[in-house]
Structure 1
């Protein structure tokens, strides 16, 4: 049995997007699969039945190299492609393949609006393992929640999970936009995000007339947030890690895009067929690769998305999927 090391050091969404690679390598080839990532992201992988061993990147890089050398890997699959992953490959001195980021293509798209390959990132990951003749099983993403995870919230009802955070403010809907939507729905909404979004969640609750909002930002583990997403009837999300977790559960997703755009290849992968993308300035190229810079306005062109458009899509999806809830659209 070949022993394989997969490298993806960060972050939440990117690691979830590697899950089809893990599954297909295990099920189609039976490899012993080890995975190297940063300690703070190991929770994403701990319940994955297709991984034999997780290695956590240590602050002392040499210690990490020593640990990995001991494993005597047959092959390394580098799905990160940065300086550290290259140094690891150099030190371990075994056969490897590397995910191609397509940096030039992204540059041409962002700065000259020249569209090259429109492959989803998952398809690019599969290109990195062509040497094994592994095919995409088209089963989408995986996310495995630990067996003891629970949340003090009534999941036996229809509710919306709204992921309000993102890695940069320019990728986030504003409090005003979210409040404008929530004020017009008589329906439970759980707000999800990290500690950085806790204050935002409190403000939304204070200023909203909807009294069925629950702010879980900064109060839950990642598995607990995933638990609420899994049991929701609809997920609303910026371009962030929780969006990809929702896709793993095949949820109906309304995703919001501004500085980053779906054309970059990071849109929800094989989520429910009813999922939609609401894109600000859809005729323009992405503002930046990571969404930390906007060509249109300082706070991000995602702030130009009309709350009425969001509300209308919620109404349509709820009706289309016969979900029993009360929504009021006011114009």
Structure 2
């Protein structure tokens, strides 16, 4: 880490992307607080991700921005609020034009983002978007203009409240789950269809686990309830506890923390599990780990289909397979995943 010290008192971080992106931005807060313990840090995010940050002791103020529904008036209101704060530095890991515009209009002495960001010329300090490294390491490069040179993967710290822990305690009590019980969590949903392991293949995994003395928790947002319900209703495995759509983000994080293993797509639960030090079974379809969004725990395992000419087809995934085969997911062997689960739960 650099010894360079700059007089910085107020910092704004802009990350208005999805939940997983916010998880991978949290190490910026941690590293800034080490170098500048007295600095004030505010965080601009969308309302649906704010729950993840509400207990973070490094953040003074969470600024929710409903970018999808507030239009130009909402953008103007956010800029007005930010300008009043007179930030010394605005840092934007999010690479959108909207984030660039907010940063440019913020009035901050310095604004920082990547050279690959939309309208990057609007930023005062531009950092090279490095490939071949984890997204956490890439985001931490944005701290170079602040004199912070941290090159390791820093585990995001998620701060779970007493109330959130008690919610999981009550679920354990209801289902008579012992504190030392080994159980599996499955997070079957994701926003992007081509990043989602097919429901029938999740069912096949669960069927292969029939007879295993364990419980399977299903988690996800309200949008994932149909997927989880289909898995429960069509599997021979009967020892499910389906909590999809009933837990907050941080309650889900606490459940993941207590689990032995999570099966997840390339999505937010994977990054939350790494933060909670829970082993990960990650399934990659349209995207590839080389993008930098891979699990980094020493016992984590990735399942994917290699040597497909059509893969990756996009950095985020999409609404449909562009070649109408979905081979990236369909060729993944459910038995290999089930065998890995059995090994981890034995």
Q: What corresponds to 1:112 in structure 2?
A: none
Give the drift of 1:5: 0.6
1:33 aligned to which of 41, 58, 78: 41
Q: 1:278 to 1:131 in 2, by over 3 A?
A: same
Q: 2:161 aligns with which of 139, 142, 146?
A: 146
Gaps of 5+ in 1: 104-115, 326-331
Output one character per residue of 1:20-74: Cα deviation in whole Å (capped at 9) or x when no partner: 1110001222221111111221111111111121111252221111111111101
Comparing 176-185 and 134-143, the one that deviates more: 134-143
> Residue 34 of structure 1 contacts residue 55 of structure 1 at CA under 8 Å; is this kept in 2?
yes
Counterpart in 2 of 1:126?
140
Task: Tell whether 2:301 aligns with 1:279.
Answer: no
Asked whether the 8 Å contact 1:65–1:88 carries over to 2, the reply is yes
- Other structure's SS at 1:220 match: coil
> Displacement, 1:3?
0.5
Q: Aligned partners of 1:255, 1:33: CA distance in 2, in Å?
A: 32
Q: 2:104 touches 2:111 (CA, 8 Å); kept in 1? A: no
**Per-residue deviation, residues 180-215 of structure 1 (Å, max 9, x unmatched):** 111122221011111222122122112212111121
Q: Which residue of 1 aligns with 2:82?
A: 68
Matching residue of 1:215: 242
Summarize the Cα distance change of 1:160–1:146 in structure 2 as closer, same or farther, 3 Å threshold.
same
- SS of the residue aligned with 2:290? helix
The alignment's TM-score, normalised by the length of structure 1, stands at 0.86
2:197 touches 2:285 (CA, 8 Å); kept in 1?
A: no
Alpha-carbon distance, 1:243 to partner: 1.0
Secondary structure at the counterpart of residue 246 of structure 1: helix
- State the structure with bigger RCO (CA 8 A, min sep 6), 1 or 2: 1
Equivalent-residue separation in structure 1 for 2:47 and 2:137 (angstroms): 26
Partner SS, residue 105 of structure 2: helix
Q: Which residue in the other structure is 1:43 paired with?
A: 51
Residue pair 2:308, 2:328 contacting (<8 A) in 1 also: no
Q: Distance in 2 between matches of 1:17 and 1:277?
A: 19
Partner of 1:56: 64
Name which of 267, 279, 288 aligns with 1:261: 288
Q: Tell me: CA distance 1:309–1:101, structure 2 relative to 1, closer, same or farther (3 Å).
A: farther
- Answer yes or no: is the 8 Å Cα contact 2:86–2:107 preserved in 1: no
1:304 deviation in Å? Answer: 2.3
Partners of 1:253 and 1:193 lie apart in 2 by: 16
Residue 235 of structure 1 is matched in structure 2 by 262
- Give the C-alpha shift of residue 17 in structure 1: 0.1
What corresponds to 2:127 in structure 1? none
**Alignment CA distance shift 1:281-1:314 (3 Å):** same
Q: Write the mapping of 1:289-308 to structure 2, written as runs, cut at 5 A.
A: 289-292=315-318, 293-299=320-326, 301-308=328-335
Q: What residue number does 1:84 align with?
A: 98
Residue 164 of structure 1: aligned partner: 188
2:95/2:117 contact within 8 Å kept = no
Kindly state the Cα deviation for residue 311 of structure 1 after the two structures are TM-superposed: 1.2
* TM, length-normalised to structure 2: 0.82
Q: Tell me if structure 1 keeps the 8 A contact 2:14–2:92.
A: yes
8 Å contact from structure 1 (residues 99, 124) kept in 2: no
User: Are 2:199 and 1:184 aligned?
Assistant: no
Deviation at 1:117, TM superposition (A): 2.9
- CA RMSD in angstroms, aligned pairs only: 2.0
Size of the alignment, in residue pairs? 305
Q: Is there any run of 5+ residues in structure 2 with no aligned partner, and where?
A: 1-7, 119-129
* Aligned residues of 2:18 and 2:49 also touching (Cα < 8 A): yes
